[in-house]
Amino acid sequence: MSGIFIALPVAVMIAVAAVAAFIWAARRDQFEDLDTPPRRMLHDDVPLPSQQTEKRTLH
Amino acid sequence: MTVVAEIDCECAHCGLPVAADDVDSSAVEQFCCGGCRAVWTSLHSCGLEQYYELKAREAAVRDDRRPANVTQRRFAHLERPEFVAKHVRIASDGRLSTELCVDGLHCGACVWLLEALPRLVEGLLSVRVDIGRAVALIEWEQGRVTLGEIARRFDQLGYQLLPMLDPAARENDRAIDRAWLIRLGIAAALTSNSMAVAFALYGGLFATMATPYRVFFQWASVALAIGALVGPGRIYFVNALAAIRTRTPHMDIPVALGLFAATGSGLVNTLRGTGTIYCESATALVFLLLVGRFIQYRQQRKARQDVELITTLVPAIARRRSTDGAIEEVPIEALMRGDLVEVLVGETVPCDGVLVSGVVHFDVAILTGESKPALTNAGESVWAGTRSLDQPATVVVEVSGEATRAGRLLALVADASRRRPPIVELANRMAGWFLLAVLAGSGFTAWWWWHLGSDVAIARAVALLVVTCPCALGLATPLAIASALGKAARAGVLVKGGDVLERLAKPGTIVLDKTGTLTQGRMTVTSSEGDATAFALAGALEQSSCHPIATAISRAFAPRNSTAASTSRVHERAGYGIEGEVDGQAVALGNHAFVTERYGEAPRWAKTFASSAMARAETPVYVGVDGALRGVISVGDPIRSEAQSIVAQVRSLGWNVVMCSGDQLTVARAVGRAVGLGNDEIEAGCDPERKLAFMRDRAHASPVVMVGDGVNDLAAMAAADVGVAVRNGAQSALHVADVCLAAGGLRPLVKLLSGAQRTMRAIRITLAVSIAYNATGGVLAFNGLVNPLVAAVLMPVSSLTVLWLALWLPKFDPVRRAEEVVP
């Protein structure tokens, strides 16, 4: 049972690490846009025709 | 008499139904408008057809069909040094980037399309779309492409790039967002750990726990609670102190008191080694209340951002003619009194001024709400924000910018939104009473049990403070409202803030605009009588005019194959009619005066038809071919089919219904009669200023709801307790309104009103349940029956009940697809 004196601080340390990781992610705007990425990943990367030859005149 | 049928096939681009008169039977693809056709063509010429596959997949999830809008503007203002200095960031490697608002985004297919653009446009490095905020981060290489070119490319695909008003404020909002997230994250971690520790402590209550372990767990719990209080929970104490200083009751006073009592008593009892601790309650309270606060903050911020976008009313750029006749594009700030400005057909006038020459029809609906175009002669005034319909116009500038009528109108809007009294939310009104009851109860407990010793008395008083949790007050209201807003959005009603629902709780007066709200806002041929071949000729002739009545007639009758009819010698007399030759036959059509002057007095059948049309507030157009009157066409702005039943349903919910229109009295009364409004419930001839005064007169009869679609309704919408914009309304109306009816027609209005009543009832039930829990807890604490175990059961159970009720009770009926009326 005395193992709890070590286990509890270890658990707290893990929690601190998790919070630190969360803060790191939040500061890097990982939670900024939650709507677009789940849609973006569904788009297949199909090569488009005429990538270089495209020279349409713009109005 | 024939009635023109609507709806039969879908637009190849946007999927909206194509009006029968727009169908081109010779083509495979049908389009609802020129914008959609243009976008469809440019997508196919660039090899981007995959867009339609993606869109079809998305459509199963979400339906938001809108016609494409292609303006063909030059977007030169995005290249001006003032813009660059304020909005464009330059990276060290010469890459430029900026964030711009994108108008026209609706689904994931748009994200794909815009993000594929860098592969087609040379020099455009990347586009990152944020669909939630409707913002694109654009990165490009200096020298190889300009932002104006990029914006024109977006325009070709039906997306408008608009500058953000205040990039610095956005940056600031983002920092606040991050701070909130971090605060929530820390509070959540502390709470979950505190709960784990509490679990061990409660276990120890049943099986005896050795003292060193118990002390260890107690210290852990106290430490976590103190962390929660000085970290994320600090704001409650800051707010409570501020509230005490200004002597106003505030939710945070009971919260701070409960937090302090729970943590303080826990610390004292741990130090003394006796008694009970409630620290996990304090930690959990910090987290739960923060969640509620965060939801509220997000709603308020969204409402504020939306008001920012309304300055897109008047173009930022004017075409100025210099003394040597050359045309240059200048920002409107550079316009001086007396400058000459060119306005092309379909363009928006950038300034208030005087028409130099000619006779031009202007679409003034934006300012006055009048559906009929205003005929303006040389020397008469024209206003910024109106649109030239048929002729290019040259205008002498009088004033521009904020001094214009449109500018003053926007100032009125801003002023009216500022002056709106904030409503004291139910939760904050109750907080004062709650605090008094808790303090009195706890004082009474201490006094009553003092004869048993101060230890017992204080322990019971503290237990009462802790167990009576203001959780429901702090959490239930924002959650119930957030849940209601989510359900409302699914039902096609976009509500911008929780306070809107509170304002709608009691029935009051609802003011409806006419053009575009009760009616469809588009001139359409409603009926006709006479010779069909004559109408086909009339349709062909009207193709050469831009007048809305002409457009309606040519849409209804023009032969699809445009080469079939050749028109020549067309002469249009503004305000009267049009004549010309179609396939060698002389065709003339116009109003009564125009026709009598050619064919003499109209026959009886034509007159009967015309007078019945005028009784419905429609415009009769006489058609003559080769010297004889051959038919009459009635053109009007049709009333929405559901309008009458909606007015009746809104009345049955206890609201007074009033119509307020910019049109003349006869037109307004005809529409009013058709939807079941009495003459005393109609206010006609209202310009925006009068609409605003009308709303202010009724401010005492709270709440007043304004339902409108156009810019002319903006000030009234902002002055009303709640402004509601209908779908397809002006973009700026959508931004000022508190509520947007996203599903077609007026049907969602009834859902909004009844849903708001149900939401408020849900909040009251939730509060009642939480008061019942608190009373029970208070009685138990008074009698010394609360130990940490009872507190640990009572608090989460009460919180969970409240959460469940708040999320489940508010109901908005989803709009059934079959009912949806296509505008």
- Whether the pLDDT of residue B728 is over 70: the answer is no
Q: Cβ of A32 and B174 within 8 Å?
A: yes
Please tell me the distance in Å from A28's CA to the nearest CA on chain B.
Answer: 9
Of A29, A33, A54, nearest to B120 by CB-CB distance is: A54
Q: For position B821, what pLDDT does the model report?
A: 38
- Whether the pLDDT of residue B686 is over 70: the answer is yes
| DSSP label of B233 | T
User: How confident is the model over B50-69, as a mean pLDDT?
Assistant: 68
Q: For position B817, what pLDDT does the model report?
A: 39
Residue B424 is encoded by which pair of tokens?
């004291």
Q: Is the peptide bond before B703 cis (omega within 30 degrees of 0)?
A: yes
- Whether the pLDDT of residue B5 is over 60: the answer is no
Chain A and chain B share a number of CB contacts under 8 A equal to 93
Q: Cβ of A33 and B216 within 8 Å?
A: no
User: How confident is the model over B204-222, as a mean pLDDT?
Assistant: 82
Q: For position A59, what pLDDT does the model report?
A: 43
- pLDDT above 70 covers a percentage of chain B that reads 85
- For residue range B293-335, list pLDDT tens digits in order: 787 777 666 655 554 444 455 666 788 888 787 777 777 777 8
Tokens 């040519």 — which residue?
Answer: B554
Tell me the C-alpha distance between B528 and B507, whole Å. Answer: 42
Of B178-192, B412-426, B635-649, least confident by mean pLDDT is: B412-426
For the CA atoms of B192, B195, B197, B201, what is the dihedral angle to 10 degrees? 180
User: How confident is the model over B577-590, as a mean pLDDT?
Assistant: 84
- pLDDT above 90 covers a percentage of chain B that reads 5
Q: For position B3, what pLDDT does the model report?
A: 43
User: How confident is the model over B413-427, as a mean pLDDT?
Assistant: 61
Secondary structure (3-state) at B358: coil
Of B4-8, B456-460, B768-772, least confident by mean pLDDT is: B4-8
* Pairing between β-strand B722-726 and β-strand B704-708 as defined by DSSP bridges: parallel
Secondary structure (3-state) at B389: coil
Q: For position A45, what pLDDT does the model report?
A: 65
User: How confident is the model over B387-413, as a mean pLDDT?
Assistant: 78
Mutation test of the interface with chain B: which of A14, A22, A24, choosing the one with the most B Cβ atoms within 10 A?
A: A22
Q: For position A58, what pLDDT does the model report?
A: 42
- For residue range B95-128, list pLDDT tens digits in order: 898 988 887 777 778 888 888 888 888 889 989 8
Secondary structure (3-state) at B360: strand
Phi, psi of B394 (to 5 degrees): -110, 130
SS3 of chain A: helix, strand, coil, percent, to 5: 50, 0, 50
Asked casually if ipTM beats, i.e. exceeds, 0.90, the reply is no
- For residue range B782-795, list pLDDT tens digits in order: 888 877 667 767 77
Confidence of residue B813 (pLDDT cuts 50, 70, 90): low
Query: Is there a contact between B727 and B823 (Cβ–Cβ < 8 Å)?
Result: yes
Q: For position B735, what pLDDT does the model report?
A: 67
Query: Is there a contact between B590 and B576 (Cβ–Cβ < 8 Å)?
Result: yes
Residue A34 is encoded by which pair of tokens?
């939650």
* Pairing between β-strand B509-513 and β-strand B619-625 as defined by DSSP bridges: unpaired
- Whether the pLDDT of residue B413 is over 70: the answer is no
Query: Is there a contact between B717 and B737 (Cβ–Cβ < 8 Å)?
Result: yes
**Residue partners of B409: CB distance under 8 A and separation at least 6:** B367, B688, B711, B714, B715
User: How confident is the model over B678-702, as a mean pLDDT?
Assistant: 79
Confidence of residue B501 (pLDDT cuts 50, 70, 90): confident
Phi, psi of B96 (to 5 degrees): -105, 150
- Whether the pLDDT of residue A19 is over 90: the answer is yes
**CA distances, B424 to each of B428, B509, B734 (Å):** 7, 21, 25
Query: Is there a contact between B416 and B326 (Cβ–Cβ < 8 Å)?
Result: no
Tell me how far apart the terminal alpha carbons of chain A are, to the nearest angstrom.
79
Mutation test of the interface with chain A: which of B43, B62, B120, choosing the one with the most A Cβ atoms within 10 A?
A: B120
User: How confident is the model over B660-666, as a mean pLDDT?
Assistant: 80
Residue of B nearest to A6 (CA): B216
Q: For position A52, what pLDDT does the model report?
A: 42
- Whether the pLDDT of residue B223 is over 90: the answer is yes
Q: Cβ of A34 and B45 within 8 Å?
A: no
User: How confident is the model over B134-152, as a mean pLDDT?
Assistant: 88
Please, which contacts does B398-402 make with residues 24 or more away whose CB atoms are closer than 8 Å? B398/B337, B398/B351, B398/B352, B398/B353, B398/B354, B399/B337, B399/B351, B399/B352, B399/B353, B400/B318, B400/B332, B400/B333, B400/B335, B400/B350, B400/B351, B400/B352, B401/B332, B401/B333
Judge whether A45 is closer than 8 Å to chain B, CB to CB. no
The residue count for chain B = 823
List the alpha helices (DSSP H) in B46-107.
Answer: 50-59, 81-87
Burial B788-798 (b: 16+ CB within 10 A, else e): bebbbebbbeb
Higher pLDDT, B777 or A19: A19
Mutation test of the interface with chain B: which of A5, A6, A8, choosing the one with the most B Cβ atoms within 10 A?
A: A8
| DSSP label of B11 | -
> What is the residue-wise DSSP string for B277-326?
--HHHHHHHHHHHHHHHHHHHHHHHHHHHHHHGGGGGS-SEEEEE-TTS-
Find the angle CA(B789)-CA(B794)-CA(B798) to the nearest 5 degrees. 155
Please tell me the distance in Å from B655's CA to the nearest CA on chain A.
Answer: 38
Q: For position B599, what pLDDT does the model report?
A: 79
Q: For position B186, what pLDDT does the model report?
A: 94
Confidence of residue B733 (pLDDT cuts 50, 70, 90): low
List the alpha helices (DSSP H) in B88-166.
Answer: 108-116, 147-156
Query: Is there a contact between B91 and B76 (Cβ–Cβ < 8 Å)?
Result: no
Give the number of other CB atoms < 10 A from CB of residue B242: 12
Tell me the C-alpha distance between B317 and B254, whole Å. Answer: 55
Q: For position B458, what pLDDT does the model report?
A: 82
Q: For position B447, what pLDDT does the model report?
A: 92
Tell me the C-alpha distance between B39 and B65, whole Å. Answer: 15
CA B522 to chain centre: 21
Please tell me the distance in Å from B795's CA to the nearest CA on chain A.
Answer: 24
- For residue range B151-194, list pLDDT tens digits in order: 888 888 888 787 776 677 777 888 888 899 999 999 999 988 88
Q: For position B537, what pLDDT does the model report?
A: 83
User: How confident is the model over B621-650, as a mean pLDDT?
Assistant: 86
Q: For position B22, what pLDDT does the model report?
A: 67
Tell me the C-alpha distance between B474 and B285, whole Å. Answer: 10
Q: For position B729, what pLDDT does the model report?
A: 58
Chain A CB contacts of B189 below 8 Å: 15, 18-19, 22
Q: For position A55, what pLDDT does the model report?
A: 42
Judge whether A28 is closer than 8 Å to chain B, CB to CB. no
Residue of A nearest to B186 (CA): A19
Which residues of B lie inside 8 Å of A (Cβ-Cβ)? 45-48, 50, 54, 57-58, 72, 107-108, 111-112, 115-116, 119-122, 129-133, 149, 152-153, 156, 174, 177-178, 181-182, 185-186, 189, 192-193, 196-197, 210, 213, 216, 220
Mean pLDDT taken over chain B: 79
Chain A CB contacts of B133 below 8 Å: 33
Of A27, A40, A43, nearest to B178 by CB-CB distance is: A27
Q: For position B822, what pLDDT does the model report?
A: 38
Most confident listed range (B402-406, B433-437, B442-446, B491-495): B442-446
- Beta-bridge partners for A14: none
User: How confident is the model over A36-59, as a mean pLDDT?
Assistant: 60
Chain B CB contacts of A10 below 8 Å: none
Burial B596-611 (b: 16+ CB within 10 A, else e): eebbeebeeebeebbe
- For residue range B358-393, list pLDDT tens digits in order: 788 887 766 665 666 777 888 888 888 787 877 788
- For residue range A26-41, list pLDDT tens digits in order: 988 888 878 788 877 7
Residue of B nearest to A39 (CA): B108
Residue B450 is encoded by which pair of tokens?
């003092």
**CA distances, B382 to each of B314, B325, B399, B573 (Å):** 13, 22, 11, 20
